[in-house]
Amino acid sequence: MSASGARRPKVVFEGVSKIFRKRGDDLLVLDDVSLTVRDGEFVCLLGPSGCGKSTLLNIAGGFERADRGRVTIDGEEVREPSSRRVFVFQEYGIFPWASVWDNVALGLRHMPAGERGAIVQATIDMVGLGGFERAYPMELSGGMKQRVEVARALAVSPDVIYMDEPFGALDSLTRLTMRSELVRIWQQQRPTILFVTHDVDESIQLADRVVVLSARPGRIADVVEVGLDHPRDLGSPEYGRIKNRLYELLGVQHTI
């Protein structure tokens, strides 16, 4: 049994289907998606544009309702958003009028100041923004802004983090750095992470398991166990084998 296999179920999708009704037409977006994500596991959802990845996260976050099936977290059905689970999006969700410190402190308003300060500082340091506490978003690079967003999510010690293409707007070198930093932080704190991407390499670099969704309606085409130790050797034969398998599942020719 793999290390992830020893952990208890955390986020469980049970036969989730979703239909959007558009101008009288029914659009089946998700069809009978069942998946068990274990506590502390890092799972990537990989699939073509429009296959329902964001919709699936929104259902798991309590922002959308499934038409059939349900999502449970720790055995409890998700019915509405909760501060125990947080989202990190691609577009910068940080507040431009607030400093790095205030952005990260946002979810901790109800905490005594001393405790809050310690957590905010530790989280800012963890994402590598020590020294920029008083900076405003306009003074930061894209990668730094995304770090603020990650820090804000981590500061509230969430059980589950949903990440929807969080590095999609970054240049390729910054993306690589952000991925390895995310893995480092995940190894320290072990939250459960569901990470949406349509980047095959990103999914292999990050995930314990990659869930491949078919084109709309999104169905699980397969779940691929990555099973490589971190830091991952991107040139290893095993990495290449997984990559080929994922491209095959996506039905994409990747030799040019």
Ligand X SMILES: Nc1ncnc2c1ncn2[C@@H]1O[C@H](COP(=O)(O)OP(=O)(O)OP(=O)(O)O)[C@@H](O)[C@H]1O
Q: Does 123 bind Mg ion (CB under 5 A)?
A: no
- Looking at 43-51, 140-148, 178-186, 202-210, which segment touches ligand X (CB under 6 A)? 43-51
- The strands making up 42-46's β-sheet, listed across from edge to edge, are 85-89, 160-164, 192-197, 42-46, 209-213, 220-225
Binding to ligand X in span 214-233, by CB under 6 A: 216
Q: CA-to-CA distance for 226 and 243, rounded, in angstroms?
A: 10
Q: Does 58 bind Mg ion (CB under 5 A)?
A: no
Please pick, from the candidates 40, 52, 61, 137, the single residue that binds ligand X as defined by CB under 6 A: 52
Q: Does 49 bind ligand X (CB under 6 A)?
A: yes
- Largest distance between two CA atoms of the chain: 58
- Looking at 1-9, 51-59, 79-87, 241-249, which segment touches ligand X (CB under 6 A)? 51-59
User: 55 vs 103, which CB is nearer to ligand X?
Assistant: 55
Question: Any idea what the Cα angle at residue 246 is, between residues 243 and 59, rounded to 5°?
Answer: 130
Q: Does 197 bind Mg ion (CB under 5 A)?
A: no
Q: Does 53 bind ligand X (CB under 6 A)?
A: yes
**Cα–Cα distance list, 161 to 9, 57, 89, 103, 198 (Å):** 15, 10, 11, 17, 18
Burial-class residue 5 by CB neighbours within 10 Å (0-12, 13-18, 19+). exposed
CB of 199 to ligand X, least distance (A): 10
Please pick, from the candidates 17, 54, 103, 146, the single residue that binds Mg ion as defined by CB under 5 A: 54
Residue 163 phi, psi dihedral angles, 5° rounding: -120, 120
Radius of gyration in angstroms for the set of CA atoms belonging to the chain, rounded to a whole number? 18
Q: Does 55 bind Mg ion (CB under 5 A)?
A: no
Note the residues at the interface with ligand X (CB under 6 A). Answer: 20, 22, 29, 47, 49-55, 198, 216
Note the residues at the interface with Mg ion (CB under 5 A). Answer: 54
